[in-house]
Amino acid sequence: MKNSLNGRYHTRVVVNIIYSTVVACMVMVFLVTNLSMIGQYAAERGMENSLVLLFYRPGTMIVLLYVLLGIGVFSVSFLLLQSRSMRYISRISSAMREIAEGDLNITLDVEGDDEFADMAENLNNMVEELRQLMDRERESERTKNELITNVAHDLRTPLTSIIGYLELLSGPVKLNEEMQKKYLDITYKKSKRLQKLIEDLFGFTKLNYGKISMKVSKVDIVKLLSQMLEEFYPNFMEKNLAYELQSNVPGKVITADGNLLARLFDNLINNAIKYGADGKRVLVQIHAEEEVVTVSVTNYGYVIPADELPLLFNKFYRVEQSRSTNTGGTGLGLAIAKNIVDMHGGTIQVTSDLNGTVFTVRLRTNFDINRENFQMP
């Protein structure tokens, strides 16, 4: 295809040369024929001093004049035929100069199917890629600034509380043992919340900016989720929640990063415990097929408004801010979960209605870490 495109312009040039030659020959034939006839007529009439007789008499000078005339006709014809290409080249050159000066709003019309048309199309593609790159850079900068602002706010809140209670404990006013215990307990909880925020922040930053290298291996996802639910048993008991694991297969081995999958489902189960306490039950379901495994985590607590569902995976987004503060949410857990799913080339979705809030994760059983533009079947 490329060789074909490279030959089209050369073919056009050759064709134009042939056309110019034909035109030059026709003009020369016309001139020679007519001038010869006029010269013959002048000779017969005795017009010895007529300029036309020069073209009628054979000789080197006359031949030279004919050749020069032919070259002139050929050149004019060739330039006329090539003028369209020259104008197109000029537009491409002008566009490249404007792009070099920083104007990325240039779009060239693709005319024809030769090398210059191919060049114009490639130039348009390059400009579009540059625009997208600039947009990503601006979005990255905006995200970084937003991250710094949110982190500063979320770190300041527990730190202010911790400092306040420590000042009360170390102040001149003597507190009784019960109040000291109460303030120490509050300070401890605030410190744990701060620790959780910092851990989630580091985790999100590493995942979002590609600082974590995946270690792909064979993982039995049924066994993994069973073990994780058992580890969460104290948390379920604390919230007076029942839990259940349902699977259509006794075991299912998939190719994935086991540590990242554990982090993913840890966040989803932890989220279900925090916000599903009113429902008294958490249900984890596994549906395994040959190429895809689907895991859903359902809680039966608070129904999330439909307009907030698309925002749940945004960093620092929380449903009911005051309620999230009470549960100790950082607003990063679901953003981390989505990043992990994206790294595995899967999908994560959420629905919420009176039948429960369901987070559904779909993963390919044979994940290829080297495959880009991954699409679920």
pLDDT of amino acid 38:
61
Instruction: Please give the average per-residue pLDDT across 207-228, as a whole number.
Output: 82
Q: What's 59's DSSP letter? A: S
pLDDT of amino acid 48:
53
pLDDT of amino acid 4:
45
Query: For 123-144, how does the pLDDT look when each residue is reduced to its tens digit (9 = 90+)?
Result: 778 878 888 888 777 766 666 6
Could you tell me the two tokens for 196? 């959780």
With bands split at pLDDT 50, 70 and 90, how would you rate the model's confidence at 362? very high
Instruction: Please give the average per-residue pLDDT across 89-118, as a whole number.
Output: 73
pLDDT of amino acid 61:
46
Query: Which listed CATH number (3.90.1580.10, 1.10.287.130, 3.50.50.60, 1.10.3720.10) goes with 143-208?
Result: 1.10.287.130
Q: Please report, rounded to a whole number, the percentage of residues in the chain having pLDDT higher than 70.
A: 59
User: What is the CB neighbour count within 10 angstroms for residue 42?
Assistant: 18
pTM assigned to the model: 0.54
Instruction: Please give the average per-residue pLDDT across 90-118, as a whole number.
Output: 73
Q: How far apart are CA 119 and CA 113, in angstroms?
A: 10
What is the bridge-based pairing of β-strands 242-247 and 216-220? unpaired
H-helix or E-strand containing 254?
A: strand 253-257
Q: How far apart are CA 341 and CA 127, in angstroms?
A: 31
Residue pair 221/250 in contact by the 8 Å Cβ criterion: no
Q: How far apart are CA 188 and CA 162, in angstroms?
A: 8
pLDDT of amino acid 215:
82
Phi-psi sector, 328: left (phi>0), alpha (psi -120 to 50), beta: left
Most confident of 98-102, 164-168, 333-337, 340-344: 340-344
Q: How far apart are CA 295 and CA 311, in angstroms?
A: 21
Query: For 229-242, how does the pLDDT look when each residue is reduced to its tens digit (9 = 90+)?
Result: 998 888 888 888 99
pLDDT of residue 301 exceeding 90, the answer is: no
How high is the mean pLDDT of the chain? 75
If one compares 129 and 365, the residue with the highest pLDDT of the two is 365
pLDDT of residue 375 exceeding 60, the answer is: no
pLDDT of amino acid 254:
93
Assigned CATH topology for domain 216-364: Heat Shock Protein 90 (3.30.565)
Greatest alpha-carbon pair distance for the chain in Å reads: 143
Phi-psi sector, 171: left (phi>0), alpha (psi -120 to 50), beta: beta
pLDDT of residue 289 exceeding 70, the answer is: yes
SS3 243: strand
pLDDT of residue 376 exceeding 60, the answer is: no
pLDDT of residue 291 exceeding 80, the answer is: yes
Q: How far apart are CA 278 and CA 229, in angstroms?
A: 19
With bands split at pLDDT 50, 70 and 90, how would you rate the model's confidence at 152? low
Most confident of 66-75, 197-206, 210-219, 335-344: 335-344
What is the bridge-based pairing of β-strands 356-364 and 242-247? unpaired
pLDDT of residue 313 exceeding 90, the answer is: no
pLDDT of residue 259 exceeding 80, the answer is: yes
Residue with tokens 């029942």: 242
Q: What's 363's DSSP letter? A: E
Query: For 1-58, how does the pLDDT look when each residue is reduced to its tens digit (9 = 90+)?
Result: 444 444 455 566 666 666 666 666 676 666 666 666 665 665 566 555 555 555 555 5
- As beta bridge partners, residue 357 has 299, 352
